[in-house]
Structure 1
């Protein structure tokens, strides 16, 4: 399976405007948080909506090929590997594709989704996720609220984000990332009793996210089509 300079300034605004486990394996003894994606087949999903805006460089409405044909790809996926070969095919199919920008945008999107889920920010999640994926997150938040619980979360940072796979299938590009992050997370009752996690302990989170995009589309948005936790 299967975003230069202006991007870093405006990507969050673009994502907010246009816009599966949220938490993966955690180190320590805490019980894992509810995973919206470890659900029965009728609610588990693949996204069909625009999720993450990872823009290509453009002048007006005309796409502009980015510099360094394969440099960024080779720096992030070893030459000679299947992932590198597929990323090169994606770059050939879409000259505006910039692997470095994609990686930076994916990291930003990841933090936004994790934080919004913990905060129960439905409005933000609705902009960040496809309708189907949003349903899973919203259901989890609703259940948490029904129990009179709230999640306290502090995103520490991403330790690593690496290409786990890539594929160009017909004209659809898929890129899978393995993301290792750290956060402090705890779920508490109304009286402050901790029922999950630890409000003072940094835990490790491991997720695998797959993004997809039609390489012939003028729309720079990528879709979050699959996410899973690493055990």
Structure 2
């Protein structure tokens, strides 16, 4: 009787060893279908990189360039814990595609296109860059200028500085306000070609504060100019 029990014990022991080895062979190697480690700073609905060509995926926090530290041409960091720092981090949490320096590069390009487009009266170039309200205002100003036969000649010298000064959310919309300091040569001529404003030989400094907006919940990655003002 003892021999029979020993015989069955040996069989169960062999089976247990076989099962253990099989489990180890499966659990101990990667099959290619594992999920990546969870990043606590990464949103669930982050878009895939291939979905939108101009979306820059956010690196994990702590990686170089991952935070909102450099936000201007000077490279000066936003003071940690400041109102702007908190606002930028709130925006980055709501819109995982937002990265301050990448945004500023696009804002600089848009600024030059808008300034030159307004000067030449190019409504076609302006329309995709402006909100409806801003476009209507620009279009009305262009129409008024055209009705008097005036023309604006603008040479865009460059942008000395572009820095984010405000950031925030309006419902699901991200709003970023940028202060631009640029240099232009601009002249307005009347219908007879006489200079009525500006100086064709003088480079003028121009300071603008513009607010851009995009829908953080939309697949459209484009930003639109929604407000403009000049400093007091």
Query: Cα deviation per residue 1:170-215 (whole Å; 9 max; x = unaligned)?
Result: 4332211111111000001233211001111110111111112232
Q: Residue 22 of structure 2 aligns with which residue?
A: none
Unpaired runs of at least 5, structure 2: 1-46, 72-77
Deviations 1:79-138 (A, max 9, x none): 221111111111122222221111000010010000001011121122322222112111
**Mapped contact 1:57–1:64 kept (Cα < 8 A):** no
Alignment of 1:134-213 (within 5 A): 134-213=135-214
Contact 1:90 1:215 in 2 (8 A): no
The equivalent residue for 1:86 is: 87
Q: Who is 2:68 aligned against? A: 73
Q: What are structure 1's unaligned runs of at least 5 residues?
A: 1-55
Let me know the Cα RMSD of the aligned residues.
2.2
Q: Which has the higher strand share?
A: 1
SS where residue 221 of structure 1 aligns? Answer: coil
Q: 1:152 to 1:211 in 2, by over 3 A?
A: same
Offset of residue 230 of structure 1: 1.3
CA contact (8 A) 2:134 2:227 kept: no
Change (3 A) 1:170 1:143: closer
Output the CA distance in 2 between the equivalents of 1:125 and 1:168: 25
Would you say the 8 A contact 1:72–1:100 is kept in 2?
A: no
User: Which shows bigger deviation, 161-170 or 202-211?
Assistant: 161-170
Q: Is the 8 A contact 1:83 1:164 kept in 2?
A: yes
Are the equivalent residues in 2 in contact too, given 1:148–1:190 (CA < 8 A)?
Answer: yes
Structure 1 distance, partners of 2:86, 2:108, is 23
Counterpart-to-counterpart distance in 2, 1:94 and 1:123: 29
CA contact (8 A) 2:148 2:191 kept: no
**1:72 positional shift:** 5.0
Contact 2:169 2:175 in 1 (8 A): yes
Residues 175 and 211, structure 2, Cα contact 8 Å, conserved in 1: yes
Q: What TM-score do you get using the length of structure 2 for normalisation?
A: 0.69
* TM-score, normalised with respect to structure 1: 0.69
Structure with the larger RCO, 1 or 2 (CA within 8 Å, 6+ apart): 1
